[in-house]
Structures are given as C-alpha cells and as structure tokens.
Amino acid sequence: MQSIKQVFGILLTLLLSVALLSCDSYGKKVKSGHVEVYYKEGISKESAEKTAQWLEQVDKTENNNTTETKSIQLLKNGEQIDFRMVANKDRVAKLEADVFYIMGNAISEELFNNKPVNVILTDNKFVTFKTFPYKKMEIPASFGEKITNGNVEVYYADGMDIANTKKLANLLETEMTPSNTISFQFSKGATDSYIVKMVVQQDKIDQVTDALLEEICSKISQRVLTGASIEFQLTDDEFKTLRKYNYNPAATN
C-alpha cells in the first residue's frame, strides 16, 4: 500500500550519499537541507529550489537518512525536463521500472506544471547508466501521511492530530501485537466523531465479530479520543469499505 510520497521515499533511498567531484559543468547549485540540486539554462533557480525543498520534505516524512548529501541535476530537454539522480545500481536493480515512470509523472505534476519529466539514473559524476523516458502512468492514490509503530501503520488525513495518530498506532500495536503489517486509516467523521479503517482479507472478514469491534472501539475511544464516537470500517487494501461498525459510547453506558 504505497502513496505517492512513499514511492518517492523508496526512490530517495537509492540516492548515493557520495559527494560529487567538483566540476563547473554540473551547473549552478541550490540546497535544501541534505538535498542539493544542480541546474542549467532553461531551468529557473526557483524551480531548482522548489525541487530541493520538496525532496527534502519527502525524505523527512518517510524517515529516510537526512544526514548525508543527496544529489540531483535538472536539465531542459526541448519541451521536456530531465530529472537526473545519483543512484545506487544494486538497489535500482531490485525495483520495477513502473516505479520510476510513476516518479516521473509525480515530478511532472508536483513541480513542473505537467511538463513531461524523464527520470535518469547516474553515477556520482552524473554519467548516465539508466534512462526512463516519460510515460503517462496512473499515480497511486494517496492514503495520507503515515505513522508506524511496530507492525502497525496508520495513515492520517490532512488536518488530523498527529499526536492522537501516534497514540492510536501505539494502542493498536500494544493491543494487537501483529506478526505481519496491518494498515489503518484515521480521519475525522461528523462532529465529534472519527473514522478508523482497517485493511482485512475479504475471506477473513466474518471472523471479526461485533464484540471484537466494540472492544477495540471502546479502547480507542477511551484512551485516544476522550470518549468520542467511532465509525470502524473493515476495508480492502485500497481502504474501500467492506463492512461498517458504529460505536457510540453514550449507548453503551
């Protein structure tokens, strides 16, 4: 289950933390934190700065290493943009090509007003070893930002309280102690109520009893949400609802 930011998070782990050899031909340079972006004629300083800032934020969101420099080069290629990244060949070999095509689409949409973006992988001298020409792809749906605790991952929507999301992830990990990853989504419902979604296998959905749902909703309500009502949804792996359970603490008192 990967949002577009997660895809970027994976891609950014491929960047080599190796300083580039000094060379004027790389272009002008801007930095944002640990991300440096070189750019040449046809690419504005503002575009380079926006790219560096966005990539730095993605790394921070996905808890990637932000202590070592990562290097990008931006070039104008006719009506297209070449997004050149210093990458690790061994790690690249383990990923499907579609990941890079999706990356090109996302960079196009987020940073370059939908202009075609080619993703080009290079060594630490910006010498190309793999090119992924722009190809229109369907970008994965965004499930929100993610908090992880053990084998529990909780996606949360914009505007949600991060502190409560962390409390929820901690509670679910403590109570469920899953041996494999379980995905949840946390969002605001109607006034003073919340929606908690949990991914389940469809052939196991009948094994989740109302009594079990009431128990977990009660704990979430009391320990995380100060007694709020909860709509608990069992969903497929795209968070599409398969079954609902409504918990109202007032009705249980």
Q: What is the percent of the chain with per-residue pLDDT over 90, rounded to a whole number?
A: 58
Q: What is the pLDDT of residue 121?
A: 93
**Model pLDDT for residues 125-164, shown as the tens digit of each residue:** 899 999 999 999 876 667 888 899 999 999 997 678 899 9
Cβ neighbours for 35, distance < 8 A, ≥ 6 positions apart:
52, 55, 56, 59, 69, 70, 72
Higher-confidence position of 59 and 226: 226
Domains of the chain, by residue range, sit at: 4-132, 145-252
- The token pair at 200 is 């389940």
Q: What is the pLDDT of residue 15?
A: 62
Q: Among 3.40.50, 3.30.1380, 3.30.300, 3.30.70, what is the CATH number of 145-252?
A: 3.30.300
Q: How many CA atoms lie within 13 A of 99 on its CB side?
A: 18
Q: Taking Cα atoms as reference points, which of 110, 159, 109 lies closest to residue 136?
A: 109
**Model pLDDT for residues 202-240, shown as the tens digit of each residue:** 888 999 999 999 999 999 999 999 999 999 999 998 888
Q: What is the pLDDT of residue 253?
A: 56
- The token pair at 251 is 């009705």
The whole-number average pLDDT for the span 89-109 is 85
The whole-number average pLDDT for the span 92-113 is 87
Higher-confidence position of 14 and 97: 97
**Model pLDDT for residues 181-192, shown as the tens digit of each residue:** 999 999 998 778
Higher-confidence position of 3 and 43: 43
**Distance, CA of 223 to CA of 199 (rounded, Å):** 22
Cβ neighbours for 106, distance < 8 A, ≥ 6 positions apart:
4, 7, 8, 139
The whole-number average pLDDT for the span 6-25 is 62
Cβ neighbours for 152, distance < 8 A, ≥ 6 positions apart:
169, 172, 173, 176, 178, 181, 182, 184
